[in-house]
Amino acid sequence: MTAEPFSVGLLGHGTVGSAFAELLEARADAVVPITGLRPELAGVLTRSRGDFDEILERSQLIVELLGGVEPAREYVLRAIAAGRHVVTANKQLLSQHGEELWASAREHGVQLRFEAAVAGVVPVIRVLQESFAAAAIDRVHGIVNGTTNFILSEMARTGADYEQALAEAKRLGYAEADPGDDVSGRDAAAKMAILARLAFDSPVHLDQVPYEGIERITPDDLEYAREFGLGLKLIGTAERIDGGLSVRVHPAFLYAGHPLASVAGPFNAVTVESAAITEVTMSGPGAGGPQTASAVLGDVISAMIPPASTPEPSQRLELVEDVASAFYLHLEVADRPGVLGQVAQLLGLQGISVKSVVQKGLGENARLVMVVHPTLESRFFAACALIERLDFLRSAPRAIRVIEEEFV
Amino acid sequence: MTAEPFSVGLLGHGTVGSAFAELLEARADAVVPITGLRPELAGVLTRSRGDFDEILERSQLIVELLGGVEPAREYVLRAIAAGRHVVTANKQLLSQHGEELWASAREHGVQLRFEAAVAGVVPVIRVLQESFAAAAIDRVHGIVNGTTNFILSEMARTGADYEQALAEAKRLGYAEADPGDDVSGRDAAAKMAILARLAFDSPVHLDQVPYEGIERITPDDLEYAREFGLGLKLIGTAERIDGGLSVRVHPAFLYAGHPLASVAGPFNAVTVESAAITEVTMSGPGAGGPQTASAVLGDVISAMIPPASTPEPSQRLELVEDVASAFYLHLEVADRPGVLGQVAQLLGLQGISVKSVVQKGLGENARLVMVVHPTLESRFFAACALIERLDFLRSAPRAIRVIEEEFV
């Protein structure tokens, strides 16, 4: 089929960039019947080669796969100002400078698309922006970091400890040499900032998203929790609370019925809840060069057809700091009478009630593992601070949030 | 916010129609910042009230929720010819007259959107048409009928038989008074025809989709299969086979690792596979007035913004009749030596190999339950015909397909 060319300028030629260049060539023919145009690479900018101005001049659309804030921010702003559509996979950039970029895209009447920035090829961005545009979303839960989901799956499956599972993730290419942003939860926090912005139509900056990582999770926690029917995930949450908004990332237990409970290995998944839609879950590979490149190509095709934009935020929701959670609490204590009673009393003073409890003797010591009903986190941590001072405690209490909902 | 009105004509005022009318009014304000326009109902056509021509005249977009082929087909064609965008939830219409309607929409430059026709609010149509437009899809598996998924879940959960579970589904509003099209698989076949058309960009008519229902499933089958780690679903499949296409609906067992295995109750889910995307799954409520209405509203909003169309099919794939499947085979036999040997021999003659087998004595009789590796269905059914003639067989063999892939 003969068709007019559509020229794409590519910034970045790492794993995703080179996979995209390959995919674009392989699928160019398939794009023609959809768009009436044949996409082709107008130029590639790498750290050592290529000139941005020259590539911009020759391109109708810019694909930004450099990662990091600068010079990506400058290039994207200049491309937008020059009237070019932009497709990016850059979560750091969007979670810190999104409003500036979206405002500029609106001003210049160009599209800024970013499906690949969150959950790879799982089309959560498009679905939030388009399908659920008027769904009045109440909550988004996401497993949005494949590295940590692989590590936790591996710990649960094999009984390995954190360090062993991390080593295995590195060996298989699921973790980078420096996995700091992944295991600390910061990468997931950036992605949740972007999802929250879209779901709640209110500005959210990475700095407003508290996060907790998986470095301190022990095989013990996983084993005990299994007795309660719980599985552990690094969960991002964005939810409306009393007219405000809470966005956060932390490890949390899920009951087996939760749609995210069965998401294993390096996969990502996002659940969106509202009265209008009940609950919709999307899952799939969250990373990988070819998969992420595929999400980028989907955006390029959409940008070749119709206008789409991120509208100006229609509201500015307050970001809520103290939210209610159920908790798993693990205590190593001296095995003597009255221990459970004293712990329960301290919890009771904070209005916290216990849902289930397992106590195991270990010679002179005992292990007390319980799940408590949802309570304001400030109250729970206040109770923990009091419990920590009890003289029969053998080590610091370990607390992990539990997501309680069971679906269908 | 003041905004120009955008007038929507509604055909049909049943469960989904009335839910849509309510939702449109409730969410009209939220649509303004997205589209710059305020949607409002221009008129409602019911069986007894309203005049189509008058409503068409007053509307910028028509929402068709009548169901059935006529007069829905006539109204949709007339709306398109009059230059109106159309949003429909009508799977019967699209699976039988889709090409005519899509061609007409292309000719008149209007949008024909139909997210709610398949899997309710699960945004599988948009994702296939847009996100995965160039993903070179290899296969789609779907649980696209909530009634049957509820019945099978209920049978598995409680040990109820088919009639009992159907009665419970009716009581809870998950099955209609006449559930014929649901339990026979015909409803799922219509939806798979639509999904296959989009995924493979080749025309598919409902009449080309063979289907098998769940009426003959027994609690026995579910119980035995559990021993193999299998769960039963009514599965729609659309897949490329040797340059052709197979689209079909039948009950099938899934291993626990399959992303559709955990979809329980009246939920729907669709898994899309290709080299480019690996495997992406979407799940959520497949029916329900408010949820389906929400999918319709998502389409209305999209139609208010940019042009989108179903491009002309770029190919015409041959529809494949005989495909390879793994099977679960359940035999009631006389308990005498050599029975398993003779069955295995007959399977072997057709080149079929056994993966696992359980034999249980029941006094004079025995039960032989096995899973065989994938084989052409024609070969498997030929073997069954031979087995059926063996003199030690106590009742007809029961065969159910098994979906073998385990993910992650």
User: Could you report the per-residue pLDDT of B175-194, keeping only the tens digit for each?
Assistant: 998 999 999 999 999 999 99
Chain A hits for B30, CB-CB cut-off 8 Å, are 134, 136, 314
Chain A hits for B284, CB-CB cut-off 8 Å, are 277-281
Which of B27, B277, B284 faces A277 most closely, judged by CB atoms? B284
| Closest-CA distance of chain A to residue B103, Å | 14
Yes or no, beta carbons of B285 and A277 under 8 Å apart: yes
| Burial classification of residue B82, based on how many CB atoms lie within 10 Å of its CB (0-12 exposed, 13-18 middle, 19 or more buried) | middle
Q: Respond yes or no on whether the N-terminal peptide bond of residue A71 is cis (omega within 30° of 0).
A: yes
Q: What's the pLDDT at B287?
A: 80
| Closest-CA distance of chain B to residue A121, Å | 6
Chain A hits for B123, CB-CB cut-off 8 Å, are 123, 127, 130-132, 280
Closest-CA residue of A relative to B295 is: A131
Yes or no, beta carbons of A130 and B302 under 8 Å apart: yes
Contact A237, A192 (CB under 8 A): yes
C-alpha to C-alpha distances, A299 to A61, A383, B374, nearest whole angstrom: 11, 49, 38
Residues 6+ apart with CB under 8 A from B314: A30, A33, B201, B202
Residues 6+ apart with CB under 8 A from B222: B152, B155, B156, B232
Closest-CA residue of B relative to A29 is: B134
Yes or no, beta carbons of A121 and B307 under 8 Å apart: no
* Residue type (1 letter), A94: L
**b or e along A74-109 (b: 16 or more beta carbons within 10 Å of the residue's beta carbon)?**
ebbbbbbeeebbbbbbbbbbbbbbbbebbebbeebe
Yes or no, beta carbons of B266 and A115 under 8 Å apart: no
**b or e along B215-225 (b: 16 or more beta carbons within 10 Å of the residue's beta carbon)?**
bebebebbebb
* DSSP letter assigned to residue A211: B
What average pLDDT does range B36-56 have in this prediction? 94
Chain B hits for A281, CB-CB cut-off 8 Å, are 281-284
Nearest partner of A199 among A232, A246, A167, judged by Cα: A246
What confidence tens digit (pLDDT) does each residue in A159-170 have? 999 999 999 999
Domain annotation for chain A: domains and CATH numbers: 4-117 (3.40.50.720), 124-285 (3.30.360.10), 324-403 (3.30.70.260)
What confidence tens digit (pLDDT) does each residue in A179-232 have? 999 999 999 999 999 999 999 989 999 999 999 999 989 888 888 778 777 889
Which of A30, A131, A136 faces B115 most closely, judged by CB atoms? A131
Q: What's the pLDDT at B376?
A: 92
| Closest-CA distance of chain A to residue B143, Å | 14
**Contacts with B, A 15-34, CB within 8 Å:** 23, 27, 30-31, 33-34
| Closest-CA distance of chain A to residue B399, Å | 28
CA distance A146 to B326: 32
DSSP string, A6-61: EEEEEE--SHHHHHHHHHHHHHHHHHHHHHSEEEEEEEEE-SSS--HHHHHHH-SE
Which of B126, B264, B284 faces A278 most closely, judged by CB atoms? B284
CA distance A337 to B239: 64
More confident site: B325 or B93: B93
Nearest partner of B306 among B133, B132, B126, B136, judged by Cα: B126
**Contacts with B, A 260-319, CB within 8 Å:** 261-262, 264-267, 275-285, 288, 290-291, 293-295, 297-298, 301-302, 305-308, 311-312, 314
Hey, is the C-beta of B201 within 8 angstroms of any chain A C-beta?
A: yes
How far is residue A331 CA from its own chain's centroid? Answer: 30
**pLDDT tier at B2, thresholds 50, 70, 90:** confident
Place of tokens 């080299």: B275
More confident site: B228 or B272: B272
| Closest-CA distance of chain B to residue A376, Å | 30
| Closest-CA distance of chain A to residue B154, Å | 11
Residues 6+ apart with CB under 8 A from A394: A332, A333, A334, A365
Nearest partner of A72 among A128, A19, A132, A112, judged by Cα: A112
Which of B277, B297, B312 faces A134 most closely, judged by CB atoms? B297
**Contacts with A, B 58-97, CB within 8 Å:** none
C-alpha to C-alpha distances, A358 to A330, A338, A385, B307, B351, nearest whole angstrom: 10, 15, 21, 59, 53
CA distance A289 to A283: 17
Closest-CA residue of B relative to A270 is: B282
Q: What is the phi/psi pair of residue A275, to 5°?
A: -60, -40
Which of A27, A285, A305 faces B278 most closely, judged by CB atoms? A285
Q: Tell me if residue B78 falls in helix, strand or coil.
A: helix
Instruction: Let me know if B191 is a catalytic residue.
Output: yes
Closest-CA residue of B relative to A114 is: B131
Paired strand residues for B334: B365
Nearest partner of A137 among A96, A198, A93, judged by Cα: A198
**For every one of its 408 residues, what pLDDT tens digit does chain A have, with 9 covering 90 and above?**
578 999 999 999 999 999 999 999 999 998 988 888 999 999 999 988 999 999 999 999 999 999 999 999 999 999 999 999 999 999 999 999 999 999 999 899 899 999 999 999 999 999 998 899 888 999 999 999 999 999 999 999 999 999 999 999 999 999 998 999 999 999 999 999 999 999 998 999 999 999 999 998 988 888 877 877 788 999 999 999 888 899 999 998 888 888 899 899 999 999 999 998 999 999 999 888 889 999 999 999 989 986 555 566 667 778 788 888 889 898 999 988 888 899 999 999 999 999 888 888 888 889 898 889 999 999 999 999 999 999 999 999 988 888 766 544
Q: How far apart are the first and last CA of chain A?
A: 49
* DSSP letter assigned to residue B208: G
Yes or no, beta carbons of B123 and A122 under 8 Å apart: no
Closest-CA residue of B relative to A39 is: B134
CA distance A193 to B86: 35
Q: What is the pTM of this model?
A: 0.87
C-alpha to C-alpha distances, B359 to A43, B364, B366, nearest whole angstrom: 65, 13, 7
Which one from B191, B233, B355, B360 is the annotated catalytic residue? B191
